Structure 1
Amino acid sequence: MQLRPYQEEARKSIHAEWEEGRKKTLLVLPTGCGKTIVFSKVIEDRVKMGERVLVLAHRGELLDQASEKLEKATGLKTATEKADKTSIGSFFRVVVGSVQTLMREKRLSQFPTDFFDTIVVDEAHHCISDGYQRVLNHFEKSNILGVTATPDRGDMRNLGTYFDSLAYEYTLPKAIKAGYLSPIKALTIPLKLDLSAVKQQSGDFSTRDLGNALDPYLHQIADEMLEHCANRKTVVFLPLVKTSQKFKDILNQKGFKAAEVNGESKDRQKVLEDFDKDKYNVLCNSMLLTEGWDCPRVDCVIVLRPTKVRALYSQMVGRGTRLFPGKEDLLLLDFLWHTERHELCHPAHLIAQNDEVAKKMTKNIEEAGETGLALDLQEAEVQAEKDVIAEREESLAKQLNEMKKRKRKLVDPLQFEMSIQAEDLTNYVPSFGWEMGPPSEAQVKTLEKLGIMPEAIDNAGKASLMLKKLEARKSEGLTTPKQIRFLESRGFQHVGTWQFETAKSMIDRIAANGWRLPKGVVPSTYEG
């Protein structure tokens, strides 16, 4: 099986992390971008090296899917460690294992601690839980690959408490732009749903309270669906089985062909097959279909289970991001959830790189929704970034002017970031343990040597990113921090975008003129 370019890059990056001693590494791929194919090829590589591999997951569907894809992509067959099935005594080099089974002491103790050389954790955002940690800590010498589709920096910080590195990340916008996933449009429906009385449970909203809060609005939501997605293939996520069943009945009364599945559905497989074959055009579920189920025909997703957890939100929306012949886009219907205390996930959070842009996107999408207009998420992000940059530059103008006036030998990192227009530095948030620690002594000395004030950089991750940026700029022949500081203190703009030689030439001219601006040079309009 021929891997896509980004999949091959991911495969190589994972091996590189392990070779460099980072034993616990992450792969982040959006839903629909072939994460199972990538880790199947990585497993094939490790088996060829004589290793034994465990694929660990928390649901039977994920284990079955991994086993099927692995055999299809590589020809490797697997043994199973789940309930009454055991891999003990099997000659297969790969085992697919249920975490609920392996976490039991009686089952886990049958395996020597060095039995598996490599462990792949599917849906790795779950692996911080006690059950996963019990299994992973038992096989303490193994290389670990965690695979997840979560796009959220907060989730990444949580994962960073266990994993050593991020081997490879492929973003949703990149996948859409490259034509691997469907474009996404978001429409905010001006229907206000009051969640102010909903309690919190395990870091998110209580599903029981959500079901009660949602109940009065179900008929209105169904009417909005008639207007906006009557001709689409729709999946609706709801908080409770009884709410899901009630909504299915309401939709059928309105003229939809709706079905419902939940964890107790005996005919679940038949319903899913009938939905795929167009017997139904709406499928309601109470959070059953967040993982391990694919129906590429889905071109509308409605999240009626509001959440603060972006990994969960991403999983729900991911049910509709795959391509299908004739499918033009995925429509997300969003609602005006009223909550006093918590920031909810909205369509913007799927692709926005920071909360500031996400908030601006959400506001712009809501304003467009008042006129019934659905916005393409990528176009909305571009506009929101422009709006945020304009607002940020205005608010920082005074602060930067103050910095430029200060008599310091070294450059404040903020001035440098703004001058070179480095959004990745300005928005940087540490994810992994080593990144969160203070800069090392070597980093501090190198930053000082290169002209950056190290006291203003409070973590090793940002220091590392700053040093990489400085090294890259040096190789590209761009301005140094000291050149930027000197010229911008004289009123020149965005000196960070100039070439080194251009800046040197201007500084030499100023020096030759008694450290005064040469005649005819207007700094505010001068372009280097």
Structure 2
Amino acid sequence: MSYFFDTAVNIEGNKKLRTPQIEAYIKIREYFNQPDNKEALVVLPTGTGKSGLISIAPYGVSNKRVLIITPGLVTKDSIRKTQEVLEDNFWVNCDVIFNSKDIPVVNEYLQDISDEHLFASHIVYSNIHRVSSKRETSLISRVPQDFFDFIIIDEAHHAPAQSWREVLGYFREAKILHVTGTPYRGDNQEIPGEKIHETPLSEVMKNNYVKWLRKETVNAHELYFSIKENEEVKLSKEEVLAFKDKEWIEKSVALSEECSKDVIEYSILKLNELKKLSSKVPHKILAVGCSISHAEDLYHWYKEKGLNSIIVHSEMSLDELRRAFRNIENHQCDVVISVNMLMEGYDHKYLSILAIFRPYRSINAFAQVVGRILRAIPDDEITAFEIDNNGLVIFHEEIGLNTMWNVFQKEVDRAKRGSIREYTFSDREYIERENSLASVNSEGAFISNKDSYLDDIDFNELFERKRAEINALVSENINKIIQSGVDLPLDVLENLKDSLVEREIREAAKLIDPELIEKRPAQARKMMRQILSTRIQDEVANLLIENGIDEKGSELYHVFNRCIPNLKTTDVNDGIVVRFINSKLSKIYGAVKDRDNKTLLKSIGALAGILEEVKRVIR
């Protein structure tokens, strides 16, 4: 076996892990335990614990080493912070691994890493460029084809398809897991791999894993357009549409100083309101501009209103980006202005207001930028969840984003959408906008629209109790040494104490590992039963709401009374549909109490098909 099979881990029953992480892990392990299964896709929304899932995914799956590939600097740094001991180590802080000496050997692939360190690694992580480069220093130039047997690709949709084909072709025998918050690629090709799990955003929002989400749009009572050929004439939107298209209007509004300032003023108003209600939380605005020149103007316009801003864009050097992110982390700004940089993997939880100053045509890009404000602020830092974890999206009514919002809100299957040409904005276009676009006069700004997105064994307690027992035992032994009259310096006593603690932990691990391994199937079964029950209830509620059916009404009695025995006219709609689904599952897989882990997993997978059947029945 290998390190990832030999090391006892606390996953299925771990209360410090989130349900989507545990559910995805169980499906990953079950999927790859079938020899013919080679490539899988898991979708987890931003803020749900994607980096944590990547850290636990190899256990019970990998027989050799693991390669984690990221598309760029920011995402790679997110993995580094999760896994490296000197950072916020996930395995330790979440009690995934009992003994700190069992933490895997993790190395970033850099061209100067020694063969000794590379070959001693359990996990190697790197961005795609260092792995697939044609240079002699690339990873695939230094290791044999069977060096890794499990490859995890984080946010694969950003890299050119050719880069991935080269890497996966080289390590052709390895199992491959794609993990993403966005199940479609930047080049409009679907990410490969069989989708084995997707957690919907609505589910994690209901469970407060991420911020709630709402939007407010800014408009003007009077909005006029002037074109260069006849600057004296003010035209209404309707008059402009007679000779210009919708895209021209949206770009004109987006690049308009007056319209931008309307959005700026409202975003500042909402930030001040937030800080007044919760003064200890360093809430910030994320402003998304059209171009670098536009971002520089936004910087000055926010500065005119007394707010400090930091600009991040794709043309900054790595040192400049690191310096900017460090200043953001140290709360040296009120506003983060981003251009052509979605900051995927950047986890600044205090981005609470999103001010969008550009139109989007691609739901892909829109969803990714909204995801930047979804990460929840921990309970111990906030005044109230409703205040501090209530993300707000602000944009101008006339830049065409209401359609994007509506699609995003309904959680359509964006992977199936066709190729869409995204709006592009060059610095030249922004600087020369008066020659090609309208100047826009905005008078009487107002908020035009508001909308809302919507225990058989406790291993953690076991770990804490065992640690307390060990510390008490060691302290007792040290006290006996002191009381015996042996004169030892304090530093020697401390070293002795550390050695005793380490020895006792190692002995405890030997005793506790079989219990963990033995209990994991039972804990997994309990977790899957809970997931199945919760998923049925949530999906039924969503289905009824989408079809305009009162959950607590009883009109569905007449639809289902022939197929559900002992149904009463007073039974409520949601209960009726839940009973129908459970009956269908029982006919296929037997009573839930008699289902084993694999059958429970199949039950969860069968839900989508049964829900489609329910939709057809109730229409």
TM range (shorter): 0.5 to 0.7
- Given that 2:83 and 2:90 are in contact with CA atoms closer than 8 Å, whether structure 1 keeps it comes out as yes
| Residue 4 (str. 1) matches residue 46 (str. 2) | no
1:472–1:32 CA distance, 2 compared to 1 (3 A): closer
Tell me the CA shift for residue 348 of structure 1. 3.1
Given candidates 127, 134, 158, the residue that maps to 1:98 is: 127
Tell me the CA shift for residue 495 of structure 1. 10
Tell me the CA shift for residue 135 of structure 1. 1.1
- Given that 1:151 and 1:351 are in contact with CA atoms closer than 8 Å, whether structure 2 keeps it comes out as no
Given candidates 137, 147, 166, the residue that maps to 2:179 is: 147
Unaligned 5+ segments in structure 1 are: 200-204, 357-368, 392-419, 423-463, 474-480, 485-493, 498-528
Partner of 1:261: 312
What's the secondary structure of 1:158's corresponding residue? coil
Deviates more, 1:298-307 or 1:259-268: 259-268
- Given that 1:51 and 1:116 are in contact with CA atoms closer than 8 Å, whether structure 2 keeps it comes out as yes
Q: Could you list the per-position Cα deviations for residues 62-102 of structure 1 after superposition, in whole angstroms to 9, with x for gaps in the alignment?
A: 22321331342332232232455466753112111221122
| Residue 78 (str. 1) matches residue 106 (str. 2) | yes
Q: Distance in 1 between matches of 2:453 and 2:142?
A: 50
Tell me the CA shift for residue 24 of structure 1. 1.1
TM-score normalized by the length of structure 2 = 0.53
- Given that 1:276 and 1:295 are in contact with CA atoms closer than 8 Å, whether structure 2 keeps it comes out as yes
Partner of 1:158: 189
- Given that 1:198 and 1:213 are in contact with CA atoms closer than 8 Å, whether structure 2 keeps it comes out as no
Partner of 1:38: 53
Partner of 1:15: 29
- Given that 2:78 and 2:346 are in contact with CA atoms closer than 8 Å, whether structure 1 keeps it comes out as no
Partner of 1:377: 453
Deviates more, 1:7-16 or 1:264-273: 264-273
Unaligned 5+ segments in structure 2 are: 1-9, 92-102, 226-236, 238-243, 275-283, 415-444, 455-539, 550-575, 579-601
Partner of 2:355: 302
1:246–1:117 CA distance, 2 compared to 1 (3 A): same
1:109–1:275 CA distance, 2 compared to 1 (3 A): closer
- Given that 1:79 and 1:90 are in contact with CA atoms closer than 8 Å, whether structure 2 keeps it comes out as no
Given candidates 248, 260, 263, the residue that maps to 2:299 is: 248
1:110–1:196 CA distance, 2 compared to 1 (3 A): farther
1:230–1:495 CA distance, 2 compared to 1 (3 A): closer
Q: Distance in 2 between matches of 1:292 and 1:35?
A: 9
What's the secondary structure of 1:133's corresponding residue? helix
Q: Distance in 1 between matches of 2:292 and 2:253?
A: 9
Letter in 1 for 2:24: A
Letter in 2 for 1:335: H
Q: Distance in 1 between matches of 2:113 and 2:246?
A: 46
1:283–1:14 CA distance, 2 compared to 1 (3 A): same
Letter in 2 for 1:12: I
Q: Distance in 2 between matches of 1:472 and 1:387?
A: 17
Partner of 1:138: 170
| Residue 176 (str. 1) matches residue 198 (str. 2) | no
Q: Distance in 1 between matches of 2:296 and 2:609?
A: 59
Tell me the CA shift for residue 124 of structure 1. 2.3
Q: CA RMSD in A?
A: 4.4
Letter in 2 for 1:81: Y
- Given that 2:263 and 2:395 are in contact with CA atoms closer than 8 Å, whether structure 1 keeps it comes out as no
Tell me the CA shift for residue 148 of structure 1. 0.7
Partner of 2:262: 220
1:179–1:53 CA distance, 2 compared to 1 (3 A): same
- Given that 2:264 and 2:355 are in contact with CA atoms closer than 8 Å, whether structure 1 keeps it comes out as no
| Residue 313 (str. 1) matches residue 366 (str. 2) | yes
Letter in 2 for 1:247: L
Given candidates 46, 57, 61, the residue that maps to 2:74 is: 61
Q: Distance in 2 between matches of 1:387 and 1:470?
A: 17
Q: Could you list the per-position Cα deviations for residues 213-261 of structure 1 after superposition, in whole angstroms to 9, with x for gaps in the alignment?
A: 4566433332333444444521112232221122111111123232323
Letter in 2 for 1:260: I
- Given that 1:80 and 1:87 are in contact with CA atoms closer than 8 Å, whether structure 2 keeps it comes out as no
Given candidates 406, 426, 432, the residue that maps to 1:348 is: 406
Q: Distance in 2 between matches of 1:134 and 1:306?
A: 35
- Given that 1:80 and 1:86 are in contact with CA atoms closer than 8 Å, whether structure 2 keeps it comes out as no
Q: Distance in 2 between matches of 1:87 and 1:329?
A: 48
Q: Distance in 2 between matches of 1:383 and 1:186?
A: 23
Tell me the CA shift for residue 284 of structure 1. 0.9
Partner of 1:336: 397
1:336–1:122 CA distance, 2 compared to 1 (3 A): same
Q: Distance in 2 between matches of 1:95 and 1:471?
A: 39
- Sequence identity of aligned pairs in percent? 19
Letter in 2 for 1:329: N
Partner of 2:436: none
Letter in 1 for 2:171: F
Letter in 1 for 2:404: H
- Given that 1:151 and 1:314 are in contact with CA atoms closer than 8 Å, whether structure 2 keeps it comes out as no
Partner of 2:157: 125
Q: Distance in 2 between matches of 1:348 and 1:287?
A: 23
